[in-house]
Amino acid sequence: MFGGISQGEQAQGSGRSLARIAILSDLPRKELALLSTECEWREMTREEIVLSSSAGDVLEGVVFVVAGAVRLARPNGLTGQVDYLDVAAGGQFGEMVVFGIPDPDLTVVARQDGLLAILPQTRFEELLTREESVSRALLFQYAHRLRSGRDAELDGGPSSDGDLSGEQRVYGELISLAEPRAGDEDKPGGLFVARLPRHRELASRLSTTEEVVARAIAGLVRDGVAVREYPGLFIRDEQILRHLYENKSHR
């Protein structure tokens, strides 16, 4: 299982809820409350390695991201690169094991502070069999992800982040790399990436193309959201950058 999960730590009496999990949204309140008590709950902190298969961690259930966000990393045997998938609050991962598709090389890193709920695999299997709304929502999610991936390929590169375009993945990575910088007379305060990786490195890391990376960063500089301070990048407007990252309609 996940390292650091307290066995038996339950949601009952703690106010923890699965009500905002997308694929469970049509379930009655009583069913959600029961599922919450059957989950193991874990708090996570930004940049924490939540799960690492290479370190011996085993995924034995479906993980709901109740708050915060995580990034999944899997090696791609076809390309030799690493595929990334960001899962925000309301999403889930680990359900593919239910369909007989193992995930032996998975690494999960917390992108933000947050909260996870882990439902045992057998319980999720029973839920899919009994609750049509859950299986239908899961099917719709996969269909939407496939469609988004096709659109992203037409837009300049393959997408392994579901709904996120290549440019959005660049914005998300910049947010992750940046650290707060205190302002002074010479330099304003804000977020600062001390050493911006090469476009080729970012493209490989984010499963996109160098052209998409260059276009995303150049657009931020052109619009005044960021300023190049070689070898780094100063982010003048964190709010706009986060809006660009989170806005699913952005292309």
Query: Can you give the pLDDT at residue 18?
Result: 95
Q: Provide DSSP, 55-110.
A: GT----EEEEEEESEEEEEEE-TTTSSEEEEEEETT-EE-GGGGGT---TT-EEEE
Q: Please state, as a whole number, how many other Cβ atoms lie within 10 Å of the Cβ of residue 54.
A: 9
Q: Please state, as a whole number, how many other Cβ atoms lie within 10 Å of the Cβ of residue 170.
A: 27
Could you give the CA distance from residue 46 to residue 29 in angstroms, rounded to a whole number? 30
Buried residues in 219-246 as b, exposed as e (16+ CB within 10 A): ebeeeebbeeeeebbbbbbbebbeebbe
Q: What is the pLDDT of residues 2-11, one digit of tens each?
A: 544 443 444 4
Query: Can you give the pLDDT at residue 67?
Result: 93
Q: What is the pLDDT of residues 68-122, one digit of tens each?
A: 999 888 877 665 667 778 888 899 999 988 888 877 788 899 988 999 999 999 9
Q: What is the pLDDT of residues 118-164, one digit of tens each?
A: 999 999 999 999 999 998 888 888 877 676 554 444 444 444 444 56
> Quick one: CA dihedral 249, 213, 203, 172, positive or negative?
negative
